[in-house]
Amino acid sequence: MNIADRIQHLRKSKGISQEELADKIGVSRQAVSKWESEQSIPDIEKIILLSDYFETTTDFLLKGIEPVQELEKKYSATVFAVAGTILNAIGLVSSIVIWIERQMVFAVGVGLVIMLLGTGIFLTGQFIDTKDKRKAKYLFILPNVWILLFIPLSCCFNIFDGLLGGFAGQFAPIPLLGNSFSTFCLYWIVYIAICVVVDIFMKKRNVNEK
């Protein structure tokens, strides 16, 4: 691995584009592109800026000498994203189970509170670890749009269905059939459409930023 490979590896590990790196270092995107394609190498001033930005040593950039590992004190944003996703899933399942067994409104509150904690864990990771925050955000949003949207959309659906003569005022974490089968079907169409559109957008954005 040469200096071009190391710069590219560090940039991709941080989850940023060539243009974003160029802005941070104070050069043009073309300059970063030339560094990564071995058409040129950064001068010593830029090497120092790169080492500071990537939190590594100039020896690693220039010679590939790995820095002495400190006690691991940084937590990966990806771990927080996974933990938040698991907690959000627990919140959704708990809310549905409570509703099925008790059919009480507090089931919605339980689910939303747990999901709030799960999302909070993810956001904490975004502040603690800036290195992997973009990757973590991508991995979090893909499944969580399906999880986090389910309960709020179900509540909105049930209120709307109540206006049509169904379960008026019912706050439930799942869509209730009520008296309007067409509205029930509409819920699933809207829910799936929103989630699919968000996931497609995130995947395209992730590809463009590589």
Residue 14's nearest CA partner among 210, 161, 186 is 210
pLDDT band at 206 (very low <50, low <70, confident <90, very high): confident
Lowest mean pLDDT, pick from 38-42, 141-145, 165-169: 165-169
Name the least confident of 14-18, 110-114, 129-133: 129-133
Contact yes or no for 58/78 (Cβ under 8 A): no
Please determine, for residue 97, whether its predicted confidence score (pLDDT) is greater than 60. Answer: yes
> What's the per-residue H, E or C state across the chain?
CCHHHHHHHHHHHHCCCHHHHHHHHCCCHHHHHHHHCCCCCCCHHHHHHHHHHHCCCHHHHHHCCCCCCCCCCCCCHHHHHHHHHHHHHHHHHHHHHHHHHHCCCHHHHHHHHHHHHHHHHHHHHHHHCCCCHHHHHHHHHHHHHHHHHHHHHHHHHHHHHHHCCCCCCCCCCCCCCCCCHHHHHHHHHHHHHHHHHHHHHHHHHHHHCC
d(CA 126, CA 120) in angstroms, rounded, equals 10
For residues 176 and 56, give the distance between their C-alpha atoms in angstroms, rounded to a whole number.
55
pLDDT in the model for residue 134? 86
Distance CA 182, CA 11 (A): 50
* 14-71 residue pLDDT tens: 889 999 999 988 999 999 999 989 899 888 898 899 988 888 888 888 887 766 554 3
At the topology level, CATH places domain 3-63 in 434 Repressor (Amino-terminal Domain) (1.10.260)
Give residue 112's pLDDT band: very low, low, confident or very high (50, 70, 90): very high
What is the pTM assigned to this prediction?
A: 0.62
Tokens of 71: 């006690």
Tokens of 35: 């560094």
| Whether 54 contacts 14, CB under 8 Å | yes
pLDDT category at 3 given cuts 50, 70, 90 is confident
